[in-house]
Amino acid sequence: MIEKMTIFYKLRNLEIDKVAMGEQNLKTYARMDLEDAQLVYGFIVLNYDDYAFNNNRYFNLVDNNGVLELQLKEEYKTELQKYL
């Protein structure tokens, strides 16, 4: 059973670039030298969430006092409330 997922994002705007199963790092993701990758990309490891993993386009990363959090985009919050 998969317990973790890794979210790779662009440092300049916190845009999610890819979500991978398990605990990953930049060496496994970026096709460039690690030092160069660290200038462009960041990553966080979170508990696996099937919905977020399969629908990452509905989410964004938010900096909450230096801690990155995965949040549902505002336009999808109201959309999902229709179905709940």
Calculate the CA 11 to chain-centre distance: 12
In the chain, the N- to C-terminal Cα span, in Å, equals 28
Cβ burial, residue 31 (10 Å; 0-12/13-18/19+)? exposed
The Cα 5–Cα 57 span in angstroms is 15
- Tell me: pLDDT of 84 over 70: no
**How many other CB atoms are there within 10 angstroms of residue 72's CB atom?**
15
pLDDT per position as a tens digit, 1-51? 789 999 999 999 999 999 999 999 999 888 889 999 999 999 999 999 999
Instruction: Provide the whole-model pTM.
Output: 0.87
Structure tokens, 2: 């998969």
